[in-house]
Structure formats: structure tokens, C-alpha cells
Structure 1
Amino acid sequence: MVLLVITIGGFYAIPNLFGEDHAVQVVATRGAEVTASTLSSVNGLLESKGIAVKRAELEDGQLIVRVQNAEQQLLAREAIAESLGDKYTVALNLAPATPEWLEAVGGTPMKLGLDLRGGVHFLMEVDMGEAIRKMEEAKIADFRSQLREQKIRYAGVRKTAKGLEIKFRDADNLAKAERYLKSLSNDMVFTDNSVGENYMLHANMSDVYLKQIKEEALQQNITTIRNRVNELGVAEPVVQRQGAERIIVQLPGVQDTARAKEILGATASIEFRMVDENADQAAAANGRVPASSEVYPRRSGGIAVLKKEVMLTGDHITGAQPSFDEYSRPQVSINLDAKGGNIFSNVTKDNIGKPMATLFIEYKDSGQRNPDGTVKMTKIEEVISVATIQARLGRNFVINGLDHAEAQSLALLLRAGALIAPVTIVEERTIGPSLGAENIENGKMAMIWGMAIVLIFMLVYYRAFGVIANLALTANLVMVVGVMSMIPGAVLTLPGIAGMVLTVGMAVDGNVLIFERIREELLAGRSVQQAIHEGYGNAFSTIADANITTFMTALILFAVGTGAVKGFAVTLMIGIATSMFTSIVGTRVIVNLMWGGKRVKKLSI
């Protein structure tokens, strides 16, 4: 078992020895797709430019092209970006140089944090108050619409410090409204707060509903930010939640903080417009369209002539999910708020049987600067869907005529085109690449010197048993690296290296306790076999107590910490687990092999 565990740990630690290749990463954006033909055309292009390609591969919908050195990397990026156009993001990257056979069985090197590779770190906080306020406004509009539909007379609906308040002129209408509104949803808690002739019905969001709103706001913002980060073409970006209201964004290799902020805070919106069926497509291609219409490019290719009048904006969309109709054909189910439902119902009743377009509008970084130094933004407008209105539409409707991939993409764009609630950057750090390389070198030196001192001490003080402890310590370090490489989300940071150095010192603590106990038993007149047995048996509880308490502390650090603190906690927890295995089980195996069951009168300890 010991050999198997150490072999597995060593096997997954091996990829860290191969280093990294200079590479160019190609990511499809705005409806494009990276395919085998893209790979073939890029290979042909680089060959014609005289750029030697070490390896080119499709990986998770991205194209990674490995080249010989940094100079060829820059040339390759320029050539590929010019050839593919603006529907692809081409970025510099460092790709692991792990052999293909090792990658095939899951062998990958450790991911390096920003402090080791360089880049930008943001800690962003979601304004949950604004998310709840938007939902309360939607609820007010819903109440007004629902009460009018049921012909229930009310005097007004407004927001107060205690929640939402609906005022009635008499008790009968209040009772009808309370029964009806309660039957619609369990999300709200209704209370009759009438006083005298003031007939008031208070509505408060339930705790479960408030928690759901906050969770959806956080998850939708994470999705939106992740989509925007992908537009950057950053290698191995990190976008993850931190607690209940915060999002961590780490962009390795990005040094322009202003540009990163502009992209993360970019705005996007959706508009529904009618298609101008009477427009001449040939004339429109040359820019000649009626005064009441405009020409827009279609994401799938070609153009569309749309009416200038906007039927509805995406601000009214409360949900969009891909689904299937009764014939298992893909579609997108869209939910609107009450105001949006009324608007849509009125504008679609006279347009049944006519095509309606979904226009996606986004402001993106142009790569240029304004005179005042700010990032110049470019407005991009594309028609992402055209569907025929089959019937009068209300708050809930579907868009069909799409394939599965298009339905998934459209739902994502409709749902996450804009941030559902504002985000504020509460922490910002920028690490330069040269500082990252220096951190790696300093971390290596700290590891080497710490390891060397411990090895020499154990060898001199415990002699033969010191050799055994040193073997266990080396195996422990290999296992820590192996486990860190195996865990998909684990990232090695500078504090993580500190955790590994600390683990080196802590890993021999268990052996020190065991060896000292064996010495005590020998001095007490026990035989060699009894001393070894008692040393390992009696020291175990002490070692376990010390390591468990340290592990719990590291677990708390991981749960409440951010960034660097998490990196330290992860390596410390892994190091504690592996050190207990090597110092107790691993050394016991070697000791038993050397002295177990033998007549030994003296130990080299």
C-alpha cells in the first residue's frame, strides 16, 4: 500500500519537471467556433510564415499552438490574429510541456497563482441591496398588473421601510386580494395591517426567497463576468465565489489594470425589434434602406434589416432557459416582468406571423486609448436570433427554430448579457511577471535550504533512523506536489510554498516523537522489538492530536480566507495528511523490513 500510494504521488508529480512551452491561444467569440478546419488553416499559415510548430491541439473548444521560443510566439500571434479576424481572440500563453502519453492519463503540472506567474487580482462585491430593490420594483409592477386583471380595486402600491404596502378602500377588496395573491406564489408573506378605515396589506419576501434572490444575483454575475473574462483570452483565469456576496477574479498575465476593469464592467443589452420584410436585401447590402429601418450584421452570417422602433429591451427579462417543445425541438423559454409583459402583449398582438429579431448590443475594449488615457470602447451590435411571432405574447413566451447549441447560447446571452446587480472592487492587486519569477526562485531556495537543514539534523542526531526519516520526508514532499497537481482547482501561491516549507519541518515532528519514545523504552530496559512497538503505538495519539488540531486550523483558514490565505491553507492541509502517512505508516514499514522479527541487540538511534 505504501509503495502504491508513493508511486501514484510520484507519477502525478512528474509533469512539474517538464516546464512550459511558449504558446498562442485561440478562443472563439461572438458566435464563432474553433474547429478542426481552424486548426488546419492555422498550421498552414504558420508553415507559410516559416514558424516551426511544436504541437497544435484543440482543447476544450480552444486552439493551443506551441512554438519554439518567445520571438516566434509574438510572430505567430500577429499572423493568426490578422488571418482569423475579430471573431477570435488570440492571446499569448504558456502551455505545460507535459508529454502526450502523460496527459492522456491525467498528468498535469501544478497551476501557479498570480504571485508566481504575475497578473491582476480583483475581489468584487455584489450589491445585494440593489438586486433586492430591483426585485421589489418588479413585484410592485406585478401586483398592480395582477390586481387589475382580477378587477380588484386598490388605492395604491408602494415600497416602505418594512416591505411592500398595498392600500385598499374597503375590507372586501383587501380580502379578495390577499386570497388571490397568496394563491399565486409562496415567495411572499402577506399580513393584514389594517387600522380603522386604513385597509393595508403588507407583503414581505420570505427568507427563502431573499436567499434565492441573492444566490441568483451572485451566480448570474459570476456567469457574466466569466463570459467577459473569456473574451480576454486569458490563460487559466479564475472566477469564483467568495462567501455569500463576493467574487474573486484572477487574470494571470494581464498587467493593464485599467483595461481589465473596463472589460469586467462593460455593459451589454438586448433589444427586440421587428424585421423590415419590405426592404430590398440587395440594396440594404449597399447601405440603402428605408428611413425607418437600419441594417445590422447577423451573428450566423449575412445581414438583417430591422425597424428602428424598439419593441422591448432586455431590462425586462427576468429569466431565460433552454428547453424543448413537445416534439423535442430546442427552444428558449423567456420570462418578463409585469411591465415588460404588458408592453410585449400590446406590440405583438398586431404583428402575428411576422419575424422578430433579437439584437445583442455590447460595448467592448477597442484596444485603443482616448486622449484622457481611458480605454476607448467600441459598440458592437449583432442580430443573434430571428423568429416568427406565432401568437400574442405576454410575460412568458418561447423562441424556437434554433438548434441545441444556439438555444443554449441565446439563453445565456439573454440571461447574462448585463450584470444583474452592480459590483464594487473592494480589493485589487497587480503582480509583475519579473516579480513572479523572483518569487518562484526565492521559494525554491527556501525549500532547498529548509530541506537540507532538516535532513542533515535528522541524519546526525538519529543516525540510521534519521536516514529512514529523511526518506519519508522526501516521499512526503513528492506526494504533496503530486496531490497538488491532481486536484483541478488547486493553485500554488507564494504562501503555498511557505506552507510546503512548513510541512517539511512538521513532517519530521512525528518521527522525532516516535524516535524519542523508542529511546526512552530502550533506556527503560525494553527489548529492541518491544521498544519499536511501544514507540510507534504510544506516540500515535500525541501525533494525531497535534496534526488534527493543526488541520482544523488550516480548514478554518481555507473556509474564511481569500487568495493567498487559501493557498497556504490548501498546501498545509495536504502536507499534514501526507506527513502523517509517511511519518507513521511509511517509516514503520521500513523499520519493520530492517529490524522486524530479527534478534537485534542494539539500534542505531
Structure 2
Amino acid sequence: MHSFPRWKYWLILAVLAVSLMGSLPNLTTPPSWWPSALSNPMSLGLDLKGGIHLVLDVDVDKAVSHSVEEDIDTARQALRKERIRYSSLTTEASSMTVVVKEATEVDAARKILAENFSTYDITNPADNTFVLNLKQASAKEIRNFAVDQAIEVIRGRIDALGTTEPVIIKQGEHRILVQIPGYEDTTHAKQLIGRTAQLEFKLVDEKGDLDKALSGQIPPGDIIMYGPEQTRNGKSFRQPYLLKRHTELSGNEIADARVSIDSRFNEYAVTLKFNSKGARKFDKLTAAHVGERFAIILEGVVNSAPVIRERIAGGSAQITGSFSPEEAHDLAIVLRAGALPAPVKVVEERSIGPSLGQDSIDQGMNSVIIGSILVLIFMAVYYRMFGMVANVALAFNMLLILAAMSIIGGTLTLPGIAGIVLTIGMAVDANVLIFERIREELRLGKTPLAAIDGGYDKALSTIVDANITTLIAAIVLFQFGSGPVKGFAVTLSVGIIASMFTAIMVTRSIIALSTAKRKRIEKLSI
């Protein structure tokens, strides 16, 4: 006991100083010179701070059909490259049908399709007809990727709102749980999250007859799309466009999107910046089609169809449309975050007000305070002076948990408060093991100082083993649990580490310091 290392005292003082500095932002605003790593208050979860709880359902079948539609373009290009003529290329759900014109080209077509579509099962129900069905494993992979991609896109959009600690996790096979603490505008959040934001650039078919197309005679390789709803002569009207089916550019090639002002009409617009691949394609597109129109299509609606006046080599474009500042800002967010791979639908919605969150905080804090007071009284009465030492270590433990949660950016949830209450009991349990060992040593006739040394040494392995196994369980809970379970696991993990530090090192240092100058001790107050 007399050889307690001096460096441990300095370590405890350093941890105490950092804990005080890390906890201060939870009580007041720290001064400007305060270290940035120690300047963040602990974040509160949805159940304490209030906010929005949404469960989204991803239309994964739509993602599969969209993938098949993209593959039809690959089939078209591969057949044209080998000069194999076909009478039709069609898609339906997870399959495509290819009808070859000439019987002499069937074998060559089969070979090309087999080379390019290994993820499809290819059948030949008729002499010149091939049916390609997407394999189950490939379809499952597309569905899983669609949900994963939707999570990343939604995360980017929510981060742009400026909220902290959102919870965005997968639920089941095709659902996503979204929790946004501290945000109360449910309608705006749903609009922002749910927008597919599919952006496409297609050429206008200048040679096609729009009137004939509207009557049903659509030229091969063309489609009809419509502009936004307008009012003309008191009636609703949408401008039709005859467009090339092939998408020249898509939102996948956008590197950035920012709100800007259209100098021609002095109104809000969104300026797009393409990535290197998109910039090259846009340069090539505008150079090859000067004098022609190309349509900018957002979420299936033709936003505009400007004429390409000259080659555009800068890799940028602008979307106009009489936007309000909020609409332009939201559009820039969704385009910058990327398009959803499939539509999403809100299937569950809850809004938690801050008053309910405050009630939860008050009840949780009351449980912590009452539990702590009862534990402090018990330790002081049952273990006397050693119990008071344990109480000092317990206060240090609570301070350490608060600071650690603030420094690591942890989120405190209602289950997290339960984890803190559990930690109080575990911290005291470690001290109880030590003190009971000391009592055993005294009963064996050892001197007080020898009993203290023996008590700590013999209890050490039991304390470490018990806490390590609990820590492993907490890590597993964090890895595989959902939002509330993760909150419990975080506070429990931090609390376990803090309780081991305070029980093994802090209490021993206090006792060592109090007995260092006493050569002979007749009796221990334990």
C-alpha cells in the first residue's frame, strides 16, 4: 500500500481535469479558448429531445424493374454493334423479351445475349424469340442494394437539414427506420426524404410528328413525356414533348448542386455541376447537337427543353422553374445527395413533442438521483469511512460517464439512462467485493495495511472478469441492436470502463493517500 505509484496519482488527476472540462459544456457555454474536442454537450435521443419517427417502405420491386430497363439499353447496343436486326425489345417486371428479325441471325444473337447477360436465365420459346429472366440471386442482390443505397441517400438529405445524431437503420428486408431528434416539421421531412429526385437529360425528337405520336403513332425509340401543370384560359394544361427514349445523362453523374439566381428572369434556380464522366458526356452531347433541343426531366416531368446554342464544355447546367427559395434549397439537397434507387412510402409516422421528451428526462434524472442517494446512504452506513471513499469514487464515476459521452459524441436515450442506473449498481458492486475481501483478511488476523493490500489484490481478478464479460455483452448489443438498444449499450459500456477505473484505482489511491503518513493503524473503519 505504501508503494502506490506516483504516476497513478497524476493519471487520476489528469482524468479528473479532462472529465471536468468535458462535462462543462453540458452546464454552460464554455469560453472561446476551450479545446474544441471538449466543447460539445452530450446529444439527446429522440425519446428525450423530441422529434420525428418514420418507418419507410422501399419499393424494391421497382428497383428490379428499373435495373432490367437499363439492361434493355445494353442489349440494344450489343445487338446493333454486331449488326443483328431485331423487331422488338420489351421488358416486363424482371424479364426482357428479344425478337430477332432474321432466322439466320438467331445463333449469333443467342451468343451475344449469353455473353452480356450472365445474371439472366435465357430461354428460347420460339424460333426467333428470346426471353431473359433475371436470376433470383441477382434480383435479391438488387433489392438489398436498393435498400442500402436508399439509406445512404436519405442520410445525405437529413444531414443537410443540420440535425445531429439521426438514426437511419434497416428494418427487415425492405424497410428503413428514420429518427430525427430535435426536428418537428414532419411534412417537410417526409417531402425531402420521399422525393425520388430522378434527373434525366433526353434529346427532343425534332423530326418526329408530335400530333401523330399523341394519336398513338409513336416512332420507334421515342416516348411522350409532359411538362408541369399549367393553367391556360382557365383550364389545366400540360405541355407534351416527343423525346428520344435513350437517356443521355442522369443524376448519377452530378457532383454538386447549388441554389443560384437565373440572371435572365431574376428568379431562383439550381445550378448543377457534373463529375468528370458526366462533364465529358455533356460536352460531347452539346457539341453533337447544336441547334437541337434537349429536355431536362425531373421526377418524370419535363422541367424545360432548351435549345443547345453552342457546345458547353464546363460541365455545368441550370434548372429553372419559378422556384421559391425553400423549393430551390430542397431540390439542391436531393440532387446533391443523389436519387433514390426506388420510390419510398411512409408506413409509420410518429412525432414526439419536446414536452414529452422533457418529462422523460425529468423522470430519468429522478431515477438516477434517487438511486444514487440510496446507494450513497447504504455505503456510508454499512462500510463507514470506506463507504465514504466509495461514494467519492461513485461521484467521480458519474462525472467520467458524462464527460466521455460528450467527448465521443454519444447520444443519451431513455434506455441509456437505465444503463447509467445499472452502472451505479455495478460500480458499487466492485467496491463491495473489495471491502468484503478486506474484512475477510482482517478476520484472518492480518494487520489493517496488509488486509487492505490483500483485499484489493484478491478482488481484482473477480472484478475484471465480471466487468469484461458484461462489456462483451454490451458490445454485442451495440453491434446488433436497434436505436434504443444501442443507446443502452453505449452508456453501459462507458459506465463499465469508468467503474473499473474508479473502483480499482481511484478508491485505492484515496486510501493509500490517507494511510501514507501513518506508521501504525490499529483499526479500520469498515
Per the normalisation by structure 1, the TM-score is: 0.61
In the TM superposition, what is the alpha-carbon distance from 1:7 to its structure 2 partner? 2.1
Cα shift readout 1:48-89 (whole Å, capped 9, x = no counterpart): xxxxxxxxxxxxxxxxxxxxxxxxxxxxxxxxxxxxxxxxxx
CA distance in structure 2 between the aligned counterparts of 1:160 and 1:312, rounded to whole angstroms: 17
Partner of 1:4: 14
| AA matched with 1:474 | A
Matched, 1:499 2:419: yes
Q: Aligned pair in 2 of structure 1 residues 108, 318: CA closer, same or farther (>3 Å)?
A: closer
In the TM superposition, what is the alpha-carbon distance from 1:102 to its structure 2 partner? 2.5
Deviates more, 1:256-265 or 1:190-199: 190-199
Partner of 2:6: none
| AA matched with 2:252 | G
User: 1:193-592, aligned counterparts within 5 Å?
Assistant: 211=141, 213=142, 216-226=145-155, 228-229=157-158, 233=161, 235-236=163-164, 238=166, 240-242=168-170, 245-255=174-184, 257-272=186-201, 317=250, 319-320=252-253, 322=255, 331-334=275-278, 352-354=289-291, 359=296, 361=298, 400-402=313-315, 418-488=339-409, 490-592=410-512
| AA matched with 1:117 | K
In the TM superposition, what is the alpha-carbon distance from 1:348 to its structure 2 partner? 5.9
Cα shift readout 1:192-216 (whole Å, capped 9, x = no counterpart): 87899899796756969964x4565
Partner of 2:25: 15
CA distance in structure 2 between the aligned counterparts of 1:196 and 1:312, rounded to whole angstroms: 27
CA distance in structure 1 between the aligned counterparts of 2:514 and 2:388, rounded to whole angstroms: 12
In the TM superposition, what is the alpha-carbon distance from 1:466 to its structure 2 partner? 1.0
| AA matched with 2:193 | L
Q: Aligned pair in 2 of structure 1 residues 205, 380: CA closer, same or farther (>3 Å)?
A: closer
Percent sequence identity is 40
The question of whether the paired residues in 2 share the 8 Å contact of 1:157 and 1:166 is answered with yes
Q: Secondary structure at the match of 2:420?
A: helix
- Unaligned ranges ≥5, structure 2: 1-10, 205-226, 229-238, 257-272, 320-329
In the TM superposition, what is the alpha-carbon distance from 1:401 to its structure 2 partner? 0.7
Q: Secondary structure at the match of 2:351?
A: strand
CA distance in structure 2 between the aligned counterparts of 1:179 and 1:484, rounded to whole angstroms: 61
Cα shift readout 1:112-134 (whole Å, capped 9, x = no counterpart): 12222222112334333432332
Q: Secondary structure at the match of 1:124?
A: strand
Partner of 1:118: 50
The question of whether the paired residues in 1 share the 8 Å contact of 2:60 and 2:146 is answered with yes
CA distance in structure 2 between the aligned counterparts of 1:262 and 1:467, rounded to whole angstroms: 57
| AA matched with 1:142 | T
Q: Secondary structure at the match of 1:241?
A: strand
Cα-Cα RMSD: 4.9
The question of whether the paired residues in 1 share the 8 Å contact of 2:167 and 2:483 is answered with no
Q: Secondary structure at the match of 1:401?
A: coil
CA distance in structure 1 between the aligned counterparts of 2:76 and 2:203, rounded to whole angstroms: 28
The question of whether the paired residues in 1 share the 8 Å contact of 2:438 and 2:452 is answered with yes
Q: Secondary structure at the match of 1:533?
A: helix
Q: Aligned pair in 2 of structure 1 residues 270, 170: CA closer, same or farther (>3 Å)?
A: closer
Partner of 2:65: 133
Q: Secondary structure at the match of 1:455?
A: helix
In the TM superposition, what is the alpha-carbon distance from 1:160 to its structure 2 partner? 9.5
Partner of 1:42: none
CA distance in structure 2 between the aligned counterparts of 1:250 and 1:200, rounded to whole angstroms: 47
- Unaligned ranges ≥5, structure 1: 19-96, 276-293, 296-305, 324-328, 336-340, 364-378, 391-398
CA distance in structure 2 between the aligned counterparts of 1:173 and 1:414, rounded to whole angstroms: 43
Q: Secondary structure at the match of 1:109?
A: coil
| AA matched with 2:377 | I
The question of whether the paired residues in 2 share the 8 Å contact of 1:271 and 1:310 is answered with no
| AA matched with 1:333 | K
Q: Aligned pair in 2 of structure 1 residues 403, 102: CA closer, same or farther (>3 Å)?
A: farther
Q: Aligned pair in 2 of structure 1 residues 419, 466: CA closer, same or farther (>3 Å)?
A: same
Which structure is higher in RCO with an 8 Å CA cutoff and minimum separation 6?
2
CA distance in structure 1 between the aligned counterparts of 2:143 and 2:125, rounded to whole angstroms: 34
The question of whether the paired residues in 2 share the 8 Å contact of 1:270 and 1:417 is answered with no
CA distance in structure 2 between the aligned counterparts of 1:352 and 1:199, rounded to whole angstroms: 35
Q: Aligned pair in 2 of structure 1 residues 318, 104: CA closer, same or farther (>3 Å)?
A: closer
Partner of 1:50: none
| AA matched with 1:401 | G
The question of whether the paired residues in 2 share the 8 Å contact of 1:122 and 1:425 is answered with yes
| AA matched with 1:148 | R
Q: Aligned pair in 2 of structure 1 residues 236, 246: CA closer, same or farther (>3 Å)?
A: same
In the TM superposition, what is the alpha-carbon distance from 1:270 to its structure 2 partner? 2.9
The question of whether the paired residues in 1 share the 8 Å contact of 2:37 and 2:407 is answered with no
Paired residue total: 455
Deviates more, 1:172-181 or 1:462-471: 172-181
Partner of 1:77: none
The question of whether the paired residues in 2 share the 8 Å contact of 1:168 and 1:198 is answered with yes
Q: Aligned pair in 2 of structure 1 residues 162, 602: CA closer, same or farther (>3 Å)?
A: same
CA distance in structure 2 between the aligned counterparts of 1:167 and 1:273, rounded to whole angstroms: 26
